[in-house]
């Protein structure tokens, strides 16, 4: 497959070659570089950079673009996360840089779905400074390994320069930094990387309580997101099921075949099918059919059943 075809396929799937989060601050952040290098090594392993500036034995050099008129850039090479290419291996990398602060209105879709953090809108509106953390040359890592590296790098930055809000670009999710760190400490590595969204569906003429719920953020890492279009179900119960299935696929891989069923109780047998998402952005999802009379969508594998 040619590179352009690969990129088209990745865009169709929803895969992110570069993964990023924005760290938002009320006050201008001040970085203690030596502490940051120590934290990077603590959470991601030995770190190196393209040029050694101080000759220290730890290999904690960093490339810095700090010429007059340019924003500082810290670029880390993570030597314990090697990615294989045709011509050999290269370490995955992360970059931390200043970015122009964006207004709260730019995060309106994330704010609408911030059920987990009611103060998100107010906090973001009070922020006037931002940093951007990106991974580079890391898309060849397995999803779990890639997120592990990025989580370690983000944790290092947060412990050196605590921010007021974190915005995960790929999951369109705003999270409170202390809640994020507590979740990661407890093993919830998808706390920021996966967002469970809920939409009330109106105007279809069904006369029933109709909803659409999906995850966003998994496809960016190479795992299908999950989706359920339903009637008359408790959204909180659907959210729990989607989160559980999302975690299962993140840990086990995309191993659920079309037509198979999933369930966490004797009564739960939800039929699965890979589809494109109903809600933007376009990406591959595992559509979940909870069965009659609750399913409001359509699956090819479900067409043999009688419709009510």
**Mean pLDDT in residue range 75-95:** 90
- In order, the DSSP letters of 243-304 are HHHHHHHHHH-S-PPTT-EE-SSSS--EEEEEEE-SSSSP-EEEEEE--TTTB-S--GGGTT
| Distance, CA of 88 to CA of 219 (rounded, Å) | 27
207 and 201 Cβ atoms separated by less than 8 Å:
no
| Strand 284-289 to 225-231 pairing | parallel
Neighbours of 129 (CB within 10 A): 17
Q: What pLDDT is attached to residue 29? A: 95
**Mean pLDDT in residue range 189-209:** 87
Most confident range, picked from 6-15, 51-60, 240-249, 299-308: 240-249
Q: Where are the domains of the chain?
A: 3-185, 195-302
Confidence tier at 58 by pLDDT (50, 70, 90): very low
Q: What pLDDT is attached to residue 204? A: 67
- Whether the predicted pLDDT of 52 surpasses 80: no
| Distance, CA of 267 to CA of 271 (rounded, Å) | 13
217 and 168 Cβ atoms separated by less than 8 Å:
yes
| Distance, CA of 269 to CA of 236 (rounded, Å) | 18
All residues at 6 or more sequence positions from 307 whose CB lies less than 8 Å from its CB, including other chains: none
For 19-30, write each residue's pLDDT tens digit. 999 999 999 999
49 and 62 Cβ atoms separated by less than 8 Å:
yes
Least confident piece of the model among 6-10, 233-237, 279-283, 289-293: 6-10
132 and 99 Cβ atoms separated by less than 8 Å:
yes
- In order, the DSSP letters of 124-153 are HHT--EEEEEEEES-TTS-HHHHHHHHHHH
- In order, the DSSP letters of 69-90 are TS--EEEEEEEEEEEEETTEEE
Q: What pLDDT is attached to residue 46? A: 82
Q: What pLDDT is attached to residue 308? A: 31
Q: What pLDDT is attached to residue 184? A: 97
What mean pLDDT, rounded, does the chain reach? 88
Q: What pLDDT is attached to residue 47? A: 76
Q: What pLDDT is attached to residue 267? A: 78
For 270-280, write each residue's pLDDT tens digit. 999 999 999 99
Q: What pLDDT is attached to residue 54? A: 46
Give how far the C-alpha of residue 290 lies from the chain's centroid of Cα atoms, to the nearest Å. Answer: 26
- Whether the predicted pLDDT of 55 surpasses 60: no
């Amino acid at each position: 497959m040619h590179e352009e075809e690969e990129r088209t396929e990745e865009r169709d799937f929803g895969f992110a070659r570069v993964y990023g989060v924005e760290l938002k601050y009320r006050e201008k952040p001040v970085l203690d570089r030596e502490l940051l290098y120590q934290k990077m090594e603590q959470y991601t392993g030995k770190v190196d950079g393209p040029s050694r500036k101080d000759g220290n034995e730890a290999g904690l050099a960093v490339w810095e673009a700090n010429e007059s008129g340019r924003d500082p850039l810290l670029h880390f090479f993570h030597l314990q996360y090697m990615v294989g290419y045709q011509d050999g291996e290269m370490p995955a990398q992360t970059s931390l840089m200043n970015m122009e602060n964006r207004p709260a209105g730019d995060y309106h879709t994330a704010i609408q779905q911030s059920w987990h953090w009611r103060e998100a809108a107010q906090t973001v509106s009070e922020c006037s400074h931002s940093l951007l953390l990106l991974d580079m040359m890391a898309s060849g890592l397995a999803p779990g390994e890639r997120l592990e590296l990025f989580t370690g790098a983000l944790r290092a930055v947060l412990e050196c320069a605590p921010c007021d809000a974190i915005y995960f670009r790929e999951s369109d999710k705003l999270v409170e930094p202390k809640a994020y760190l507590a979740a990661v400490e407890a093993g919830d590595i998808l706390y920021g990387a996966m967002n469970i969204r809920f939409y009330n569906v109106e105007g279809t003429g069904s006369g029933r309580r109709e909803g659409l719920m999906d995850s966003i953020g998994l496809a960016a890492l190479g795992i299908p997101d999950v989706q359920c279009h339903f009637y008359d179900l408790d959204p909180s119960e659907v959210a729990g099921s989607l989160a559980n299935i999302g975690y299962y696929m993140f840990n086990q891989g995309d191993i659920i075949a079309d037509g198979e069923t999933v369930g966490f109780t004797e009564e739960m047998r939800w039929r699965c099918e890979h589809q494109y998402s109903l809600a933007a952005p376009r990406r591959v999802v595992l559509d979940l059919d909870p069965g009659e009379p609750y399913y409001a969508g359509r699956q090819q594998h479900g067409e043999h059943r009688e419709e009510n």
